[in-house]
Amino acid sequence: MSDILSKQEIKELRKDFPILERTVYGLPLVYFDNAATAQKPLPVLDSIEKYYREYNANVHRGVHRLSQEATDAFEEARKKIAVFIDAKEEKEIIFTKGTTEAINLVASSFGKQFLHEGDSVLISAMEHHSNIVPWQIICEEKKAKLKVIPFNEAGELRMDEFDKLLDDTVKIVAVTYISNSLGTINPVEEIIAKAHAKNIPVLIDGAQATPHFPVSVQKLDADFMAFSAHKIYGPTGFGILYGKEAWLNKLPPYQGGGEMIKSVSFEKTIYNELPFKFEAGTPDISGAIAFGAAIDYINNIGIEKIHATENALLQYALQKMKALPQIRFIGEAKNRSGLISFLLGAAHPFDTGELLDKQGIAVRTGHHCCQPVMDIFNIPGTVRASFAFYNTEEEVDRMLKAIEKASKILL
């Protein structure tokens, strides 16, 4: 395990995030909703302004100087992202609106080409809605079946059930690396190895993993991975689909339009090569450039150090929260990361969240786009505190005080 950031280093790094200095209801903000979206450091904000102020132009289209500068910065970002997830080739990095669009792309294009009546798609019971609904849509269209790997009471996938469900009808497996509602880190290496032993490709939802620790798509041997820039200190509305070149070449385009073609006539259109085949229309140019800036920022700190720092804070928070008998943890996997989902006695999570908010603590409340998970636990939702490297033990202490105050009112 790598060193953690010192208190002084965190203090210095926090200065890069102007929003962390603001107050809510006259109190200093404690931002514990990083799993929903992380805050953005100054170099990311500056990169967006610089693009629009100094070299705003469309990409890949112009010979003029501004267009070349924009194209260079845009493609430079693709290189940084490829290195960040250890992809073999830059062309395996497809720019999308985010995790959601990346999964929709695979579900739609893969489904069109490879799903037939009687086939099935295997997902898990802890998926975000964005890794459920796109598969439901294509399964319905193709008369295929959606099968679901269950989890145990701690929120760990039942791998014995996975083995049974992975039969010859399965054409693709799509699972999350880390659950955004439970914090469980799933054994994706094992899932991928077992699926590959049967020649079944695997899509990994990397939305909650990529912000926290190094993810190598080559080491995992993932066929597809989806993730979002905004959870990794980058801009909203921008994300990535990683796909192995061989798979991406086999899939039909997702959307038609400019950029994704080599030539168009009314008789026949020739599609562009990778990655452009999947990038129809003018892309989010500033989004790509700003995500590149976010990756530079993370690399300057070191993702291993970020992981170790967040893990130390998670353990600190868990240990303190375990001392409060009114807290019920939802999700107690041995292998977990980044977040704590909980309930306060019989109190509704919205009430707890509101009382924490009034004390300056921003946590997420609700089903976290995982209604099936809440149904399994038979609860309306949870309160979720999720951490980033810029969070501190003092902030956790403030949340604990706020929880005790909320308990006095609600319980």
Q: 352, 362, 311: which is closest to 330 by C-alpha?
A: 352
Query: Can residue 130 be called a binding residue for ligand PMP (CB under 6 A)?
Result: yes
Query: Can residue 176 be called a binding residue for ligand PMP (CB under 6 A)?
Result: yes
Cα(355)–Cα(352) distance, integer angstroms: 5
Min separation Cβ 353 and ligand PMP, Å: 16
Min separation Cβ 230 and ligand PMP, Å: 6
Residues contacting residue 394 through CB under 8 Å, at least 6 positions apart:
none
Q: Residue 178 or 396: which CB sits closer to ligand PMP?
A: 178
Min separation Cβ 231 and ligand PMP, Å: 7
Positive or negative, the CA dihedral 209, 211, 217, 222 is: positive
Report whether 283 contacts 95 (CB < 8 A). yes
Q: Return the number of other C-beta atoms located less than 10 Å from residue 140's C-beta.
A: 10
Helix (H, G, I), strand (E, B) or coil at 409: helix
Task: Please pick, from the candidates 33, 205, 279, 284, the single residue that binds ligand PMP as defined by CB under 6 A.
Answer: 205
- Choose the stretch contacting ligand PMP; rule: CB under 6 A; options: 92-100, 110-118, 311-319, 355-363: 92-100
Cα(395)–Cα(399) distance, integer angstroms: 6
- Choose the stretch contacting ligand PMP; rule: CB under 6 A; options: 10-18, 94-102, 260-268, 341-349: 94-102
Query: Can residue 228 be called a binding residue for ligand PMP (CB under 6 A)?
Result: yes
Q: 22, 24, 26, 20: which is closest to 39 by C-alpha?
A: 20
Min separation Cβ 10 and ligand PMP, Å: 24
Min separation Cβ 208 and ligand PMP, Å: 5
Query: Can residue 207 be called a binding residue for ligand PMP (CB under 6 A)?
Result: yes
Q: Residue 183 or 253: which CB sits closer to ligand PMP?
A: 183
Catalytic-residue membership of 370:
no
- Choose the stretch contacting ligand PMP; rule: CB under 6 A; options: 142-150, 200-208, 260-268, 322-330: 200-208
292-351 positions binding ligand PMP, by CB under 6 A: none
Helices 303-322 and 393-410: angle between axes, nearest 10 degrees: 30
Binding letters toward ligand PMP, positions 358-377, x by CB under 6 A = -----------x--------
Query: Can residue 180 be called a binding residue for ligand PMP (CB under 6 A)?
Result: yes
Exposure on the CB side of residue 18, measured as CA atoms within 13 A: 5
Q: Helices (DSSP H) in 85-154: which residue ranges?
A: 99-114, 133-142
Q: Residue 131 or 352: which CB sits closer to ligand PMP?
A: 131
Q: Residue 71 or 176: which CB sits closer to ligand PMP?
A: 176
For ligand PMP, how many residues bind (rule: CB under 6 A)? 14
Q: Return the number of other C-beta atoms located less than 10 Å from residue 116's C-beta.
A: 10
Task: Please pick, from the candidates 40, 80, 128, 336, the single residue that binds ligand PMP as defined by CB under 6 A.
Answer: 128
Burial 54-91 (b: 16+ CB within 10 A, else e): ebebbbbeeeeeebebbbebbeebbebbbebbebeeeb
Query: Can residue 100 be called a binding residue for ligand PMP (CB under 6 A)?
Result: yes
Burial 327-341 (b: 16+ CB within 10 A, else e): bebbbbbeebbbbbb
Q: Residue 45 or 369: which CB sits closer to ligand PMP?
A: 369
Cα(294)–Cα(56) distance, integer angstroms: 19
Query: Can residue 34 be called a binding residue for ligand PMP (CB under 6 A)?
Result: no
Per-residue three-class SS string for 58-99? CCCCCCCHHHHHHHHHHHHHHHHHHHHCCCCCHHHEEEECCH
User: Which residue type occupies 66?
Assistant: L
Query: Can residue 39 be called a binding residue for ligand PMP (CB under 6 A)?
Result: no
Task: Please pick, from the candidates 39, 99, 341, 352, the single residue that binds ligand PMP as defined by CB under 6 A.
Answer: 99
Query: Can residue 235 be called a binding residue for ligand PMP (CB under 6 A)?
Result: no
Query: Can residue 382 be called a binding residue for ligand PMP (CB under 6 A)?
Result: no
Query: Pick the catalytic residue: 146, 312, 369, 400?
Result: 369
Min separation Cβ 220 and ligand PMP, Å: 16
User: Which residue type occupies 146?
Assistant: L
Query: Can residue 96 be called a binding residue for ligand PMP (CB under 6 A)?
Result: no
Query: Can residue 212 be called a binding residue for ligand PMP (CB under 6 A)?
Result: no
Query: Can residue 186 be called a binding residue for ligand PMP (CB under 6 A)?
Result: no
Enumerate binding residues for ligand PMP (CB under 6 A).
Answer: 98-100, 128, 130-131, 176, 180, 205, 207-208, 228, 239, 369
Residues belonging to the active site: 369
